[in-house]
A and B are shown apart, each in its own frame.
Chain A
Amino acid sequence: MAEKKRYAFVIDPARCIDCRACLVACRAEWNTPPGQTRIWVHSDGPRGTFPNLTQTYVPAQCHHCADPWCVEACPTGATFKREEDGLVLIDEEACIGCGLCVNACPYQARFRNVQTGKADKCSACFHRLAAGEQPACVATCIGGARMFGDLNDPESTVSKAIAGRAVYRPITDEVNTQPMTLYLTPPDASAVQVNPTRRDPVPAETFWHTIGLPVVKLAIAATFAGQAAAFIIQLLKGENEYEDA
């Protein structure tokens, strides 16, 4: 049996010039509404003192984490991790746009699409992958800052790009979702928005887990046990066909 794929993005910030062709390509591919985007190019602005100024641009998108909190938060499985390649995808027909996954993602890589009312995010252009093409943002990146491929394939672009290089995974001590985006030339994580931030669950989700589930389980278990006991008593006592009306 063929080994499963392990898709990953490899980003080289040193190659990004903030042309934003990737954002245009993504929007053209997915027709995302104005004001919303599936991918980003973050920047912390110029650093240093004139004339010695530098600026780093850090492309980002959904990291298709190996341990995705968004998938855990989804009550129905409308957002799921595809087994064969690890992509985190959304079944739009099943999604009701509750936004629990949006809140759960520590990278703020998800949003609720204002046109569809569904959760939305980078899907690594899975349809293009199926046709043997690269994701739109990767295919259009003229500087080669965005790369995508199978880490299990030593001949893939991504495997070659990280070979012998120090890579940076955007994780913290508190949040490690095993993101499948690897950054070459680690960015100044304190200044750019690639590091994760844990957010508290929304009140309804907390209520559901802490009160809703236990109360319903207890109520059903109690009534079932009560009626089962009554039925056992009935079996032991038998029926009185003349007494009962």
Chain B
Amino acid sequence: MSHEKLTLEEREALRQQTLVKHYTANILTHWFNAFSWLLLLPTGFAILLGKAYPFVPQAWNDLVRNVFGGLAPLIKWHAIWGQIWLFVLVFNVLFGFRKYFIPFAATRMWMDKDDWRWLMIRPLQMFGLMKDKPLPPQDAYNGGQKLYSYLVLIGTFFIGVTGMIMTYSELIPTSLQWLIQWSMPIHFIAVGGVFAGVIIHVYMGAIMPEERQAFFSMFSGKVNGLYAYLHHRKWYERKMAEQAAWEDHYQRQLTAAEAAGGESPAAPEPAPTGGDR
């Protein structure tokens, strides 16, 4: 959060603004992903035998296996939901590639110097250190969120590929058995890595008071101007510039139409950044 002091009037004016941070498609994908993780994580941990691979207590294995009626039904269920999860994500990326994925990748994903500096300061501030050090301005996502997005993208890729290998392992010839053998630890590490990130993501996104707006934006899609200004200054300024350009364009069309005595102009195309801006 920026430490720049705003006047009370400025704060109030900013509070009155509303900016769209997430589109409905992104919100639905996010919550579908979260729901799937809630189902797949506990069942996946229960598949891994606690005795041989001491990660969860044996009691958890026994409990979940009993709920599902044994190991085989549990694995089958985990594999079926895993494929539904994968299908929905791949479907969304493929069909939303032009309007959602490319704009997201182009405008929201890449780390810059400010992001790295943010990463060096913000974690310490959470523990009461460097409190007076101003945070560098952030784009639509801060350095931590960007880093986490890489973890999620890479993790999801490996979880999906290795999950499919294990699900359809009987199709793999014995000469390529090493593929199945490596799929197991890679699946485990990818899940563990993303889960470690999820712990931070859930705390910073849903529990930390300063990010309350971010949490509710994952339902409404919107944040107010004050939050955007304080937490995502670069994004806020870009959005304001985009909006001004759009309004200017619209006004010019309106004026031209009025001068020609015609009807109101059609709304211009959205700003070129598009997607989940």
- Given known contacts A208-B184, A208-B185, A234-B208, A226 and B200 CB-to-CB distance under 8 angstroms: yes
- Please name the residue on chain B nearest to A96 by beta carbon: B169
Indicate if the CB atoms of A97 and B199 lie closer than 8 Å.
no
Chain A residue nearest to B207 (CB atoms) is: A231
Q: Is the interface of A mostly helix, strand, loop or mixed?
A: helix
The answer to whether A97 and B128 touch across the interface, beta carbons within 8 angstroms, is: no
Q: Is B95 an interface residue (CB 8 A)?
A: no
Residues of B with C-beta under 8 A to A74: 49, 52
Q: How far is the CB of B16 from chain A (nearest CB, A)?
A: 12
Counting contact residues on chain B (CB < 8 A from A), the size range is: 35 or more
Complex Cα spacing A224 to B198, Å: 10
Look across to chain B and name the residue whose beta carbon is closest to the beta carbon of A229.
B127
Which stretch, A111-119, A137-145, A151-159, A163-171, touches the partner chain B? A111-119
Per the bound structure, the CA–CA distance linking A202 and B224 in Å amounts to: 55
Answer whether residue B42 sits at the interface, using C-beta atoms and an 8 A cutoff: no
Known: A230-B126, A245-B231. A97 touches B209 (CB 8 A): no
Complex interface: stretch among B70-78, B110-118, B252-260: B70-78
For B47, the closest partner residue in chain A by CB is A76
With A74-B52, A75-B49, A118-B170 already in contact, the answer to whether A244 and B76 are too (CB < 8 A) is no
* Chain B: CB-nearest residue to A225: B199
Contact at B178–A94, with CB atoms within 8 Å? no
Judging by beta carbons under 8 Å apart, are A230 and B185 in contact? Answer: no
Pairwise interchain contact B197-A223, C-beta atoms closer than 8 A = yes
A116 and B48 in contact, given A91-B72, A216-B188 (Cβ under 8 angstroms): no
Q: Is B159 an interface residue (CB 8 A)?
A: no
Q: What 0/1 pattern do residues 190 to 231 of B give for CB contact below 8 A with A?
A: 001101110110110001111011000000000010110011
Say whether A46 faces chain B, with CB atoms less than 8 Å apart: no
Q: A220, B196: Cβ atoms under 8 Å?
A: yes
A76 in contact with B49 (CB, 8 Å)? yes
Contact check, A99 vs B192: say whether CB atoms are below 8 A apart.
no
A233 at the interface (CB under 8 A from B): yes
Task: Please encode chain A, from 68 to 106, with 1 for each CB lying within 8 Å of some chain B CB and 0 for all others.
Answer: 000011111110000000000001011011111000000
Contact A76 B75 (CB under 8 A): yes
Q: How far is the CA of A226 from the CA of B207 in the complex (A)?
A: 14
In the complex, residue of chain A having the shortest beta-carbon distance to the beta carbon of B75: A94
Indicate the member of B174, B181, B195, B227 with the most A CB atoms within 10 Å.
B181
A227 beta carbon closer than 8 Å to chain B: yes
Instruction: Say whether B80 faces chain A, with CB atoms less than 8 Å apart.
Output: no
Interface residues of A in 194-245 (CB under 8 A from B): 202-205, 207-209, 212-213, 215-217, 219-220, 222-224, 226-227, 229-231, 233-234, 239-240, 244-245
5 contacts between A and B (CB under 8 A): A75-B49, A116-B170, A207-B185, A227-B199, A244-B210
Given contacts A75-B48, A208-B184, 12 further A-B contacts (CB under 8 A): A72-B51, A93-B75, A94-B72, A98-B181, A213-B53, A216-B55, A216-B196, A219-B193, A226-B123, A231-B207, A239-B209, A245-B15
